[in-house]
Structure 1
Amino acid sequence: MTDAQRAATTAADGRRPRRGPRAALAAATALPVLAACGVGAEPVHHPELSDGEVTISFAWWGADARTQQTLEAIELFEREHPNIEVDPQYSDWVGYWDRLATTTAAGDMPDVTQFDQLYLASYADRGALLDLATVSNILDPSALGEDILESGRVGGDLYALATGATTNGILINTTLFERYGVELPDTADWTWEEFERVAVELTEASDGEVHGVSPFGIDTFSLTVWARQHGGNLFDDEGNLILDADVLAGYWQRVRDFVASGAAPSVPHISESIGLPLDQTPMVTGETALGFIPAGQFIAFQAAGPEFDYALADWPTDEDAPEGFQYLKPSMYWAAASTTEHPAEAALLIDFLVNDTRVADIFGLDRGEPGNPAFREAMRDSLDEPGQESLAFTEAMAEEVGDTPPITPNGASDVDLVLQRHFLDMLHGDASPREAAEGFLGELNDSITAAS
């Protein structure tokens, strides 16, 4: 998940203090570590629903809008199943994984959880997640399609169902380009040279009041797209780290080039922008006009910056970029605890969340473009203009994407934090792009090896 994603999923009251990137890293890396031993119980195959009163816990991360949507869905589920009470548990991104690690280690993981691919293999390999094949008498995931289902498998077993998926895209503040009279190239087929050129032109046209681009560099989603543009990937199917140091060095050198040319803001400005809440990010405040985002966040950006008009575009390329470098990244997942005392009811809730089209009307695109096609059709007419644009972009990109890469392996759940730390070393000149790349790869490989 990118920093913009984390920022968009602040606590329900929406308040979060501003803090520097190094302080944020220190807080995030202080999360409890899930115990290495298995934490699950022997699963009951094809459990039956209870006729008595049952309470199951349901945990998710997200901002207030997501929380209100989810509470509305819970209320609908409880009306349909009056003997089942759902105990809601929600927090911001960091607090969520902190609490989840603690409760899982204590054998008290919530019955149903919203999950992220960064942690899926880690929890599954430790036996914390329920094998969903054991509840196939209640949970029917077939509407999601094999590609979506494959993204929730670990070691061949299905542990989670993706809520939806999104590509990575370029967010464009078209208002700023119009204000300063800078013409965009054809974004359907633009090159990196054209991308940087218009970014520099915007910086110069605004006399530095606005910079052209908020650079990438600190999240594995955009890094994976960059690697695939250059014929590589982060991990292979066996969970090995296969990213070439030269590819990563080139990724970060591009950031340095943006800063040097004036396309991007200064190093201190970039550094201070990391970890800001979404409504304080440069793309929302109008300090930059181009940014790299998961396309599913388009609605959140448009809502946070109503005085601007935004558009979405595919990444620029070089002429030798392979087709299919973009991919549909699972937005998040639904999973159940292997320790649940009520696997049938937990499965029933997940089935409701992925198959009942009334949920589509409630959630909209908040959790990404739905993996269930029936959900997309159910919500299509009710989406506002930004929602329609976001859905249209993702559907168009779905025709061009390549295979979904392997999920983050066990031992690499902190990959974004490690990436950000070495990015900051590079950005501040404490390491060259090549040195920072080698440091990142060495540290991450050691972590994966230690967990195997």
Structure 2
Amino acid sequence: MNRIRRTAAGSVAAALTLTLAACGVAQPQGSAELADEPVTLRVTWWGGDTRHARTQEVFDLFEEQYPNVTIEPEFSDWSGYWEKLATATAGGNAADVIQMDQLYLSSYASRGSLTDLGSLSQLDTSGLEQPVLDMGSWNDTLYGMPISTTSTGLLVNTDLVEEIGVPLPDTSTWTWDEFEAWAQEVTEKSPEGTYGTNVIYNEFSLQLFARQHGDQLFSEDDIVIRPETLADYFQLALDWTKSGAAPSASTTAETISLPLDQTLFTTGKTAAIFTPSTMITAYAAASGAELELVPLPTPDEDTAKYDYYKPGMYWSVSSKSEHPAEAALLVDFLVNDPEAAKIIGTERGIPANAKSLESLGEDLTAEERKAADFAEQREPHLGDAPAIVPNGASDIETILLRYLQDVVFERQTPLDAANALIAEVQSSTNAAK
């Protein structure tokens, strides 16, 4: 959710990424064999202080095992990361190993900026489930090694729900209509300024909603969601806003960019929010409340396999790297080594490698265990991996939020907003082809 709130600030960087990366198609460099002489690898990622410290500790361990390799770390926060990466890539000076996100993977891969990881024998991908691994591919080629996975669920403040006295329905089969009725009742029985839920406004939830309706958001190169499906998604937000299940349009607009520790949910003013499951740790720490993860409602008690594990982020290797073999060896260490997994923990999400998750054992916190258990509970509902965000559509979340706000303020109808969003995104993907 923090990432979503910062997407608007990063939209200029996203556009810059597309422009600069298109300046030329890079060709792979360097040997696919490990070198005997000293090697220096530059590694870049985004994140906070905890991530920096844990990542550096893993680097120290790697350098002990491979003394001829020296790692030079480069890191920043999300908002500045993509502009720096775009500039470095355009100048042919990208880091050897790059932390990558699904929003931008196809953009960099399609321009020849990333190495085919499947061509590097130093990287073992066998520890990942195929649907998860597939989401690191573009044009049937692996360009991103998934680091972690997450599911989207409903995060419920059970302390608040018990205090208000409105128990949850059977969440194993509940429908969107049942959810709205519950959220509206929570609002009605709460003090003024407390609400049942929030409006949904991210690409992950839209993917799931589309899949629940037998639809999909993207193909490899285009936005393909039916306008009617997208209109139904917008209609949920409008209905919840008008019924009081969610805050008013003005309250949503005023609070949507607040830091996590100041959100309505964290401050006990919202009973349930839609969020990636791995965010439970951050919300629990900020709120001090007892939180639980429950599945998304469905249209009609359907248990079809609409769900999927989404990679939280990836490691990629620059096609300009002079040391792709060593870069792949480092990626393998970061994702597959059990000692590295213990150091990293779940800071980047639930490890994509099941053995890495097992190696954490008793080290998982109560909230991390809830996220891991929730992922396990979703397995019967997992379907094939969807297409990743195509080239030209990296700012889908910014666009989605803009049109959703038009709908809840009733400046556009849900169907008009759906048609306009599809046209705008398709125009961007067409321009990127």
Give the TM bin, normalised by the shorter chain. Answer: over 0.9
Q: Distance in 1 between matches of 2:59 and 2:14?
A: 32
CA contact (8 A) 2:10 2:79 kept: no
Q: How does 1:371-410 map to 2 (within 5 A)?
A: 371-410=352-391
Residues 156-202 of structure 1: per-residue CA shift (max 9 Å, x gap): 21111111222210000111111112211122222222211221122
- Per-residue deviation at 1:320? 6.3
Which residue pairs with 1:185 in the alignment?
169
Q: How does 1:208-357 map to 2 (within 5 A)?
A: 208-216=192-200, 218-236=201-219, 238-306=220-288, 308-319=289-300, 321=302, 323-357=304-338
Which amino acid is 1:80 matched to? Q
- Per-residue deviation at 1:5? 3.6
Change (3 A) 1:31 1:417: farther
* Structure 2 unpaired stretches of 5+: none
CA contact (8 A) 1:6 1:93 kept: no
Which residue pairs with 2:2 in the alignment?
4
Which residue pairs with 2:189 in the alignment?
205
Which residue pairs with 1:58 in the alignment?
43
> SS in structure 2 opposite 1:291?
strand
Which residue pairs with 1:156 in the alignment?
140
Farther-moved stretch of structure 1 (312-321 vs 97-106): 312-321
Which residue pairs with 1:132 in the alignment?
117
Q: Distance in 2 between matches of 1:226 and 1:322?
A: 13
CA contact (8 A) 1:29 1:417 kept: no
Which residue pairs with 2:27 in the alignment?
41
CA contact (8 A) 2:305 2:380 kept: no
CA contact (8 A) 2:14 2:394 kept: no
CA contact (8 A) 2:28 2:115 kept: no
Farther-moved stretch of structure 1 (104-113 vs 426-435): 426-435
CA contact (8 A) 2:306 2:383 kept: yes
CA contact (8 A) 1:302 1:310 kept: yes
- Aligned pair count reads 432
CA contact (8 A) 1:230 1:322 kept: no
Which amino acid is 1:181 matched to? G
Which residue pairs with 1:108 in the alignment?
93
Which amino acid is 2:202 matched to? D
Change (3 A) 1:200 1:42: closer
Which residue pairs with 2:348 in the alignment?
367
Q: Distance in 2 between matches of 1:449 and 1:30?
A: 14
Which residue pairs with 1:433 in the alignment?
414
> SS in structure 2 opposite 1:103?
helix
Which residue pairs with 2:402 in the alignment?
421
Change (3 A) 1:364 1:42: closer
> SS in structure 2 opposite 1:381?
helix
- Per-residue deviation at 1:348? 1.3
- Per-residue deviation at 1:428? 2.5
Q: Distance in 2 between matches of 1:369 and 1:25?
A: 25
> SS in structure 1 opposite 2:357?
helix
Q: Distance in 2 between matches of 1:223 and 1:125?
A: 24
CA contact (8 A) 1:24 1:275 kept: no
> SS in structure 1 opposite 2:230?
helix
Q: Is 2:159 the partner of 1:175?
A: yes
CA contact (8 A) 1:164 1:369 kept: yes
Which amino acid is 1:173 matched to? N
Change (3 A) 1:26 1:146: closer
CA contact (8 A) 1:116 1:332 kept: yes
Change (3 A) 1:385 1:26: closer
Change (3 A) 1:322 1:394: closer
CA contact (8 A) 2:307 2:381 kept: yes
CA contact (8 A) 2:32 2:324 kept: yes
Which amino acid is 2:359 matched to? A
Q: How does 1:20-99 map to 2 (within 5 A)?
A: 24=9, 31-32=16-17, 33-44=19-30, 47-99=32-84
Residues 89-128 of structure 1: per-residue CA shift (max 9 Å, x gap): 1111121111111110111111101111111111011000
- RMSD value, Cα: 1.9
* Structure 1 unpaired stretches of 5+: 11-20
Change (3 A) 1:164 1:310: same
Which residue pairs with 1:15 in the alignment?
none
> SS in structure 2 opposite 1:283?
coil
> SS in structure 2 opposite 1:284?
coil
Q: Is 2:165 the partner of 1:165?
A: no
Q: TM-score, normalised by structure 2?
A: 0.95
Which residue pairs with 1:446 in the alignment?
427
